[in-house]
Structure 1
Amino acid sequence: MTNPSKAKGTAWEAALVTYLRVHHNPDVHRNVQMGVKDIGDVSGYYLHAVEAKAEKTITLADYITQANREAIHAQQPFGCAVVKRRMRGTADGYVVRDVRTDVRLMNRLRDMEKALQLAAPAAYALIDEHHQEAAWRTVTERTR
């Protein structure tokens, strides 16, 4: 007989991989568990080691500690937990990181955007417009 909790976690990982392949990177995949040198549940989420969690009781501190440790093992600069939201679809899950990690991520994003603005202002404008439109679509879809 299978473990129902493990089956739920495996289903969440599979749903997350499917979503990320469509909306982020077609090369996203589930990782083989590696014990003490685990590199996270999912690879291919840009610059992140991902710890996928689908549990009734949510323990964010434990998830973040695990994700940050696995980011080191995976040689990724950022770790995050992707937590299933009960009774909702994959897109409604939560991406969680500690403030220290989020500030590093935002600093990197800011610095890279500034560099792109200086090096290729027209390309920056097109990319910025694309992402502004995507954000607007997301907001309007959620308010329907």
Structure 2
Amino acid sequence: MSNAAKAKGTRYESEIRDFLNANGFTVRRVVQMGRADQGDLHGYPLHIIEAKSVKSIDLPAFVRQADREAVNAGESFGVCFVKKVRGSTGEGYAVRSIATDIRLVRRLQVMEEALQDADFGRWFDIDEELREAA
């Protein structure tokens, strides 16, 4: 990898970190670890993020890498954030396999049902707040 490509990747990782942090998360870049790599960004709940700012997009390889690095990091889900050419950071793409997405949505469904059972009033307030924010 050339220094220019590495700088481009580092810049995109920093853009994602800053964007997520500006949106209420506490995300940090992590040191690469070769075969035991644990993704590019940590602190996005339940996920590791693999960031890609490349000309040639290879979704299967990106998803495999994110899934492998999630396992290495001990996180439940891997996601690859792919830069949109001439787009803002928020216009990029979050890519995962359908199987991973099903596991994530199932987890959200079960946790939401648990919150409804434990404290329906709190669930209702949160649901209403998040619907208004959309």
TM range (shorter): over 0.9
Aligned mates of 2:111, 2:24 — CA distance in 1: 19
Percent of aligned positions with the same letter in both sequences? 45
Partner residue of 2:98?
Answer: 99
Partner residue of 1:3?
Answer: 3
Structure 1 gaps, min length 5: 136-144
Aligned mates of 2:78, 2:121 — CA distance in 1: 32
Partner residue of 1:120?
Answer: 119
Partner residue of 1:141?
Answer: none
Deviations 1:84-141 (A, max 9, x none): 1110111111111000100000000000000101111111111111111122xxxxxx
Report if aligned partners of 1:24, 1:45 keep a CA contact under 8 Å in 2.
Answer: no
Amino acid at match of 1:121: F
1:16 lines up with 2:16 in the alignment: yes
Partner residue of 2:32?
Answer: 33
Task: Tell me how far 1:37 sits from its aligned partner.
Answer: 0.5
**TM-score, scaled to structure 2:** 0.96
**DSSP-derived class of the 1:82 partner:** strand
Deviations 1:27-71 (A, max 9, x none): 310000011001000000110111000001110000000000000
**DSSP-derived class of the 1:58 partner:** coil
Partner residue of 1:46?
Answer: 45
**DSSP-derived class of the 2:45 partner:** coil
Aligned mates of 2:23, 2:64 — CA distance in 1: 27
**DSSP-derived class of the 2:104 partner:** helix
1:70 lines up with 2:78 in the alignment: no
Structure 2 gaps, min length 5: none
Q: CA RMSD in A?
A: 1.0
Could you list the structure 1 runs, at least 4 aligned residues long, displaced by more than 2 angstroms after superposition. Answer: none
**TM-score, scaled to structure 1:** 0.89
